Amino acid sequence: MAQALVLYLTRQHVERDGVQRPFFRGCFGIFGHGNVGGIGQALQQTRELRYYQSRNEQAQVHAAVAFAKMKNRLESMVCTSSIGPGATNMVTGAAVATVNRLPVLLLPGDLFARRNVAPVLQQLESEHTQDISVNDCFKPVCRYWDRISRPEQLLTALPEAMRVLTSPADTGAVTLSLPEDVQAEAYEYPNAFFEQRVWHVARNRPDQAALRRAADWIRASRRPLIVAGGGVLYSEATDALRVLVDRMGIPVGETMAGKGSLRFDHPLNLGAIGATGTSAANQVAHDADLVIGIGTRYSDFTTASKTLFQDPDVRFVNINVASFDAAKHAAIPLIGDAQVTLQELADMLDGYGVAPEHRERAQRLHDEWNTEVSRVYNVRLEPLPSQGELIGAVNELGDPEAVMVCAAGSLPGDLHKLWRARHPKQYHLEYGYSCMGYEIAGGLGVKMADPAREVYVMVGDGSYLMMSSEIVTSIQEGYKLTIVLLDNGGFKSIGALSRSLGQNGFGTRYVYPRDGALVGDDAGSAELLPVDLAANARSLGAYVFECSSYDDVATALRNARACEQTCVIHVKSDRMQGVPSYDAWWDVPVAEVSEVASVQAAREEWERHRSSERYFF
């Protein structure tokens, strides 16, 4: 059965815009008794699906997710695990894939279907049914889930898995749970099952009546704004977007997944939008009377927890492959592919342009924002450099064709605002699930997807401590990463959040307890933990640049270009100096009742902001 499964995967191709390619480019895995004799044996004999050994099952799913993101969902990776902990380690990765709408195929081993030897090692038994295992945990985080209890079930399960994985609207994680005995069983599969199959990725066009209504709304609008999401990039609609924007003068704000939809220096690119947005995008959003969302799921970061769009009569037009997202905010749903929908919309709006005042205001705000970025890039904080200047260093001194990868901590918010994206793939943020630990593993997936590009992983010490294991895989496979490790002694992000809630950074520092308890910022200088992350990275095989200033990092970035193996630029950075937020808010609840004065004050502030959250009917 496992042999048939692997062979089938090698025969699946995808086609879009006349370009055909194999869909699965390899299989990450960690073997254990739940998969070694089945999928493990099949991978050994079927060389067309290259096997990559990872260090952690969660990390391998991150790498696969990043790979698929780089490939605009047209190619992906498979991940296999043993049963029990190997399998459940992949659950977080599955959620990352599904939240971000990126295809990965997960093949965890499962309990014996024949059951007679139960409980097998690592089996979590249930006293009310034998028809359940820990792999049922994948159900809520996958777009398709199946258990292959008989070999012939592959004949119906695999085509379903492919339908979901290759559908732009339905894609995400797919799990086929594989009982360890069934993997090794034989079955007379029909030859036709293994013939090459091409899955055509459609560029669906929206309903014409909806398109006409949308065009009417756009013509009638006075202050329209485009919100560009990840769908713009996945659909390869960046040219279509630029044509429409140039012709009509509608300004653009970019989500975390959509950053890079326009070059940063396009005069109508207002940059990041929402809670981590720029003053330019957020001011225009505040007054927008029409928002055209393209390929966005309107996360709370994008909408600043529904406080961003404050025109009382604001309306929405949403272009999205998924009706689920298209319908959000009571929009006119243009359910279709972003590229062709933008082209059709541009044709229908021939001759239309926004009022000159609107365009001029947007261009002025764009210029002002650019000045603000330069200001932050040019801070030279002492004794420890600021995060903003280090972002500037990577942006300006790194290879301009490179990809920068990040996921969690205080970096994403600062990067969203400050990063100057020069090409659509330069800014790679996993911010759907914002999963600490994605960064290095994700960097590996990016590099595997496009080995010719330099890859800069920007990662905090917290995320690094959570998952740096794939440094080893990057060295084993010769995929060079340049990891810029910003070591600020704990959680700069949650520390700042905690302070904003009146909680003094409690529990967010990497320091020893004092008088038996962990302390916050109010304790002043506490004794730091003796963690040496530079030595740690070196021990995993990376070349390490130890830096303590902006200039050190600048030199390291230049020297890293010549490095052939994975290298880590380790720099201690300031924990307190933050990039401000610009005209936006994020809803994080504050205790309604507390004895602490700072919490009471934060609650008052929270109530004030909360009152501007909106519903759109």
| Residues contributing to the site for ligand TPP (CB under 6 A) | 408-411, 434-437, 460-463, 488, 491-494
Binding flag, residue 462, Mg ion (CB under 5 A): yes
Q: Which is nearer to ligand TPP, 255 or 468 (CB)?
A: 468
Q: Which residues, 6+ apart, have CB-to-CB distance to 371 below 8 Å?
A: none
To Mg ion, the closest distance from the beta carbon of 222 in angstroms equals 44
219, amino acid identity: R
To ligand TPP, the closest distance from the beta carbon of 505 in angstroms equals 11
Q: Which is nearer to ligand TPP, 298 or 491 (CB)?
A: 491
3-class secondary-structure state, position 107: strand
* Number of Cβ atoms within 10 Å of the Cβ of 215: 20
Q: Which is nearer to ligand TPP, 62 or 329 (CB)?
A: 62
- Phi/psi region, residue 282 (left: phi>0; alpha: psi -120 to 50; beta: rest), is alpha
Choose from Mg ion, ligand TPP, none: what does 282 bind? Cβ within 5-8 Å by kind.
Answer: none
- Residue 246 tokens, joined: 């140039």
Binding flag, residue 299, Mg ion (CB under 5 A): no
Strands 482-487 vs 567-572: parallel, antiparallel or unpaired? parallel
273, 227 contact by CB (below 8 A)? yes
To ligand TPP, the closest distance from the beta carbon of 405 in angstroms equals 13
Binding flag, residue 92, Mg ion (CB under 5 A): no
Residue with the CB atom nearest Mg ion in the bound state: 460
Q: Which is nearer to Mg ion, 262 or 571 (CB)?
A: 571
Q: Which residues, 6+ apart, have CB-to-CB distance to 608 below 8 Å?
A: none
Q: Which is nearer to ligand TPP, 26 or 460 (CB)?
A: 460
Choose from ligand TPP, Mg ion, none: what does 35 bind? Cβ within 5-8 Å by kind.
Answer: none
To Mg ion, the closest distance from the beta carbon of 390 in angstroms equals 12
Q: Which residues, 6+ apart, have CB-to-CB distance to 423 below 8 Å?
A: 260, 263, 400, 401
Choose from Mg ion, ligand TPP, none: what does 316 bind? Cβ within 5-8 Å by kind.
Answer: none
Whole-angstrom distance, CA of residue 280 vs CA of residue 256: 16
Which uninterrupted H or E stretch holds 244? helix 238-248
Q: Mark the segment that binds Mg ion (CB under 5 A) among 18-26, 230-238, 430-438, 487-495.
A: 487-495
* CA atoms in the 13 A half-sphere facing the CB of 422: 9
Strands 19-22 vs 12-16: parallel, antiparallel or unpaired? antiparallel
* Number of Cβ atoms within 10 Å of the Cβ of 502: 19
Q: Which is nearer to ligand TPP, 24 or 138 (CB)?
A: 138
Q: Which is nearer to Mg ion, 221 or 468 (CB)?
A: 468
To ligand TPP, the closest distance from the beta carbon of 438 in angstroms equals 9
Q: Which is nearer to ligand TPP, 251 or 505 (CB)?
A: 505
To ligand TPP, the closest distance from the beta carbon of 459 in angstroms equals 7
> Which one-letter DSSP state was computed for residue 38?
I
108, 206, 224, 460: which one binds Mg ion (CB under 5 A) = 460
Whole-angstrom distance, CA of residue 197 vs CA of residue 568: 42
Binding flag, residue 461, Mg ion (CB under 5 A): yes
To ligand TPP, the closest distance from the beta carbon of 390 in angstroms equals 11
Please name every residue paired with 335 in a beta bridge, in sequence order, or none if there are none: 320
To ligand TPP, the closest distance from the beta carbon of 437 in angstroms equals 6
To ligand TPP, the closest distance from the beta carbon of 613 in angstroms equals 22
Choose from Mg ion, ligand TPP, none: what does 34 bind? Cβ within 5-8 Å by kind.
Answer: none
Q: Please give the radius of gyration of the chain, using alpha carbons only, rounded to the nearest integer.
A: 25
- Residue 594 tokens, joined: 């507390």
Whole-angstrom distance, CA of residue 165 vs CA of residue 103: 5
Q: Which is nearer to ligand TPP, 322 or 533 (CB)?
A: 533
* Number of Cβ atoms within 10 Å of the Cβ of 9: 22
Binding flag, residue 488, Mg ion (CB under 5 A): yes
Q: Mark the segment that binds Mg ion (CB under 5 A) among 81-89, 139-147, 381-389, 458-466.
A: 458-466
Q: Which residues, 6+ apart, have CB-to-CB distance to 327 below 8 Å?
A: 318, 333
Whole-angstrom distance, CA of residue 332 vs CA of residue 111: 47
Q: Which is nearer to Mg ion, 249 or 489 (CB)?
A: 489
* CA atoms in the 13 A half-sphere facing the CB of 84: 12
Choose from Mg ion, ligand TPP, none: what does 133 bind? Cβ within 5-8 Å by kind.
Answer: none
To Mg ion, the closest distance from the beta carbon of 544 in angstroms equals 18
Instruction: List residues near Mg ion by CB under 5 A.
Output: 460-462, 488
